[in-house]
Copies of this chain bind each other. A is one copy, B any other.
Amino acid sequence: MLREDVTEAIRAAVFEELAAVGFARMSIEGIARRAGVGKTAVYRRWKSKLSLVLDLVGAVAVQGLPAPATGSLHGDVRALLEVASHALRHPVASQVIPDLLVEAVRNPEIAEAIKAALLDGRQGVVAQVVREAVARGELPEGADPDRALDLVVGPLYWRLVVVRTETPQGYLDDLARSAVAALTA
């Protein structure tokens, strides 16, 4: 394997291991086995499983998300929900994120990396959606973007990641309408 291919195989193996056994039980040995490389190939690149995971989480953060800019608060919220729903239904994301959030409680380094990766990007997008809605007069001056994030993403996260029950048809449409009502209450 080329050096870049080895790095990619290790990255893919980490996501698979995280999904299969979780951060606590994951080992460099298991990652190397799954990637089909030797343990030294992993240790040459990352000094520990923590630094490996932090590096991967950081890489996800860089991708970023564009703000939807549909021209209406409802359209923007619906678009945010579509992207979030896609991300939260992804089997790897839906297992790895809650797992790392659990670790974050006990490990400030993971907490910081997760916040940077998952929240800063989303907060930025939601903040822009809120700013544009304020500019159009759909939300009052000084509307709080953190509150908006809670009201838009909270119900969806609860349903898809915590409760994990089937969502009825038209669920995202209903959620977008509800979220706009909540935001403008």
Residue of B nearest to A156 (CB): B154
Give per-residue flags for A75-110: 1 if the beta carbon is below 8 A from chain B beta carbons, else 0. 000000000000000000011001101110110000
Partner of A25, one of B24, B101, B178: B24
C-alpha gap A151/B171 in the complex (Å): 12
Interface assignment of A13: CB less than 8 Å from any CB of chain B: no
Among residues of B, the one whose C-beta sits closest to the C-beta of A159 is B150
Per the bound structure, the CA–CA distance linking A185 and B179 in Å amounts to 9
Determine if A33 is an interface residue (Cβ-Cβ < 8 Å).
Answer: no
With both chains docked as a complex, state the minimum distance between the C-beta of A100 and any C-beta of chain B, in angstroms.
9
Interface footprint category on A: 35 or more
B-side contacts of A179, CB under 8 Å? 182
The copy count of this chain in the complex is: 2
Give complex CA distance A179, B179 in Å: 9
Complex CA distance for A163 and B161, rounded to whole angstroms? 14
B101:A182 contact, CB within 8 angstroms: no
Which residue of chain B has its CB nearest to the CB of A163? B119
Bound complex: CA A32 to CA B149 (Å): 43
B98, A102: Cβ atoms closer than 8 Å: yes
Q: Which of A1-48 contact B (CB under 8 A)?
A: 20-22, 24-25
Q: A180 contacts which of B101, B157, B185 (Cβ < 8 Å)?
A: B185
The residue from B102, B144, B174 contacting A147, defined by CB atoms under 8 A apart: B174
The yes or no answer to A184 lying at the interface (CB within 8 A) is yes
Cα A179 to Cα B35 with chains together (Å): 47
Least CB distance from A112 to B in Å reads: 12
**What 0/1 pattern do residues 148 to 181 of A give for CB contact below 8 A with B?**
0111011111110111010010000011011111
